[in-house]
Amino acid sequence: MILSIILIEKIIGYLLNYKYLPSKYKLSLSLVNKAVFKYISKNYCNKLYLGRNIGNGSLDLKQTEIHLKNQYCLLKHISHLTCHTITMDNHNLPLTDLYSLSCVTIKTFFSYIQQFSYLRELNLALTHETIIKSDYSSITVFPRLEKFTITCYYSINSHQAIPSILELLQYIRTVKHLEIKSAGSNTITKNIIIDEMERFTPNQLEFLLLIYGSSQITSHGCFLRQVNSLKKYINLNCTLSDLDLVYQFNALTWLKLHFKLYTIGIDQFLSSINQKPTLTKLKLILSDDITDTNWPQFQFIQSLELTGSINVIASALASNYQCTSLKSLKLASNSPNNTSIFSPPINEFREFFHYNKSIRKIQIQIKFSLVSQDHIGDVYLMLASNPHLKHIVLGITDNQIDVNPSCEELTNSKSVDRITIVILGVKNMNVSHIKLPNFNLVNLITHNGFKKYQYRRDFKINYELPTTSIISKILNFFK
C-alpha cells in the first residue's frame, strides 16, 4: 500500500511539473481519489493573491474564507501569499504552511511573523511606511529565511529607512538570497549600504543584488566577502575592474553581464569561461559597438543567452559548431540600422544547426517587417534540419497589423516536439487559429499585451471531459 502511494505521488508530481500540460487537466486529476486531491492541494494549488482592497473585514475577504472552507476547494494549504498587508482578518486564512510571502504594508506584519515558522522567502515593498527598530526588536524567534527582497520606493525616505533595514539583517542569520533596492540619491546612504555589506557574514550569500537610485552597487568589497559562496552574479554595467572580480568567484553557476561600452578585457573574459567548471548558465548583453570578439568552444556552458551585434553572434556560433555541452541557446541582435541576423540568415547560423549535435532548445526573435517571407522560411528549414533539436521558441516583436506568421516548415523536423510562439507588441494579431500539422495547442497565456502559445506534438488531451488517459487508469487501479 505504501509503495502504491509513493508511485501515485511520483506520477502526479511529474504531471504537475510538466508545463506543457494544461492547468485544467492537472486540476482534473484531483478527482481521482482523496489522496491525489490532498497531494495536488498541497503541491500545486497553494498560491493566493489578495488585492489591495481585500482585507479589514471586507466582503471579498469573507467570501474568500467561505470558499476556502468548501470541501471541494483545492486551496487548503497556502504556501505562497501575495497581499497588501497581514492583518488579523487575513491571518484567519490557512497560513500555517506559509513558505513565501510578498506584502506592502509591513507594520502589522512583524506582529505575526513568529507564527510563520515555515517561511523561507520574504518580499517587502515599502511604498508608504518605513521600518523602524521597534517594529522587530522584540522578536525572539525569526523564521529561517533563505530569500529576502526589500524595495523602497520614492515615497519612502530612504535615508531614514535603509539603516533600520540593514539592522534587520542581524535577525536574519540564514539568508542566502538577498536583494536591496531603493530609490534615492544620497551618497551617504549609499555608503551605509556598502559599509554594512562589507561587514556581512563571509561566504553566506549565494546571490546578492544592491540597487540604489538608478544604478547598481558593485563595490568589490561587498562581493569579495562572498567570493566562495556566490552562485549567481549580475552586473548591469560591467567594466574591466568588474571582470577582475568575476575571475575570483569560485562557485558561480549562473552569470549575467551587460557591457554597455567596449571593454578591453572582453576577450580575456571569454577565454576564461572554460576555467570555471561550475558555470553552466551564461547571459551576455553586448552593446552594438562591440563587433570584434574571440569566443572559445564551450566546455561547460549548457545555456547561453546572447544579445549583441551580428558579428558577435556570428563569432560565438562559429566557435561552437562542435560544442558538446550547449543544450539551450537564445539569440537576439541589437545591430543598428534595422538589420537582422535573418535577412538573409547569416551563414554561421546555418552551419551551427548543420553541425552541432548537443543543442536541444533554441529561442530567437524575428521582426517580420525586416525579414522577407522567403528568409523566414529559410530559418525554419535550418532549424528543422537539426535532428537533435527538441524545443523551438519563436519570439515575434513587431508593430505590423497584418503580420501573420506561417510556421508549418518547423513541423518538418523529425525531432522537435515542442513549439512556443511568444508575441510582444504586435497589434490586432491572433495566432490561435494557426494550425501546425501534428501539433496541438496545449496552453495559452495572455497578460498585458503579452501572448504565449505552447504547442506539443501529437498531444491530444481533452481536459473538458473526464480523465480517461492511461495515467488515470493506473491511478484508478490503486484506489
Q: What is the DSSP string of 52-120?
A: TTS-TT-HHHHHHHHHHHSTT-S-----EEE-SB--TTGGGSS-TT--EEEESB-TTHHHHGGG-TT--
C-alpha 226: how far from its chain's center? 23
- pLDDT confidence tier of residue 470, bands split at 50, 70 and 90: very low
- Cα(146)–Cα(124) distance, rounded to whole angstroms? 14
- pLDDT confidence tier of residue 211, bands split at 50, 70 and 90: very high
245 pLDDT more than 90: yes
- What is the overall mean pLDDT for the chain? 85
Here the cell at position 467 is: 480523465
Residue with the bigger pLDDT between 85 and 66: it is 66
- Cα(10)–Cα(2) distance, rounded to whole angstroms? 12
Q: What is the pLDDT of residue 318?
A: 97
CA-CA-CA-CA torsion sign (110, 112, 115, 120): negative
Q: Which residues contact 53 (CB under 8 A, 6 or more apart)?
A: 60
Q: Looking at 150-164, 275-289, 418-432, which range is the least confident one?
A: 418-432
Q: Which residues contact 406 (CB under 8 A, 6 or more apart)?
A: 373, 434
Query: Where does residue 324 fall: left (phi above 0), alpha (psi -120 to 50 degrees), or beta otherwise?
Result: alpha
Here the cell at position 208 is: 546578492
C-alpha 57: how far from its chain's center? 35
* Residue listed under C-alpha cell 486529476: 29
Q: Which residues contact 235 (CB under 8 A, 6 or more apart)?
A: 216, 218, 242, 246, 256, 257, 258
Residues β-bridged to residue 93: none
What are the pLDDT digits (tens) for 32-46?
Answer: 888 899 999 999 999
- Cα(426)–Cα(449) distance, rounded to whole angstroms? 8
